[in-house]
Amino acid sequence: MSLNSYVLLVILGTGLVTWLSRITPFVLLKRFKLSPIVVNFLGFVPISIMTALWIQSLLVQHLGQLPSLNVPNVLASVPTLISAVISKNLMVIVLVGVISLGVINLLM
């Protein structure tokens, strides 16, 4: 497959837009001081995003029906949540999650 100038420009353009959308907030926030209420509110954003991604991985959507549980992900979540409560270490949590899902997929 050859790379023509249009494809190259699209790749460079999307890369630039992605980079700008990620860097611009940091540049703007460096110049302004946020109120403590806004800073406190923004502290909940990471946990909200992670919760949404986690719940999405636990459910399987079916067209025109209610979602059903993704059983392997639900089972792998149990030891992962336990390791999160005990260790509070992201590396441990990720390793327990990956290993438990791998073992469950091997067994099922």
| pLDDT (tens digit per residue) in 25-56 | 888 888 888 889 988 998 999 889 989 999 99
Q: Is the domain of 68 the same as that of 19?
A: no
Q: Is the domain of 94 the same as that of 41?
A: yes
Length of the chain: 108
The answer on pLDDT for 78 being more than 90 is yes
Q: Is the domain of 12 the same as that of 28?
A: yes
- Dump strand ranges (E) for 27-102: 59-60, 68-69
Residue span of the structural domain in which 40 resides: 33-107
**Over the stretch 10-30, which tens digit does the pLDDT of each residue have?**
999 999 999 999 999 888 888
Q: Is the domain of 46 the same as that of 80?
A: yes
pTM of model > 0.85: no
How high is the pLDDT of residue 1? Answer: 59
**Over the stretch 57-72, which tens digit does the pLDDT of each residue have?**
999 988 999 989 999 9
Looking at the structure of the chain, the number of domains it has is 2
How high is the pLDDT of residue 31? Answer: 86
Q: Is the domain of 18 the same as that of 62?
A: no
**Residue 97, CA distances (Å) to 76, 79, 107 in order:** 6, 7, 15
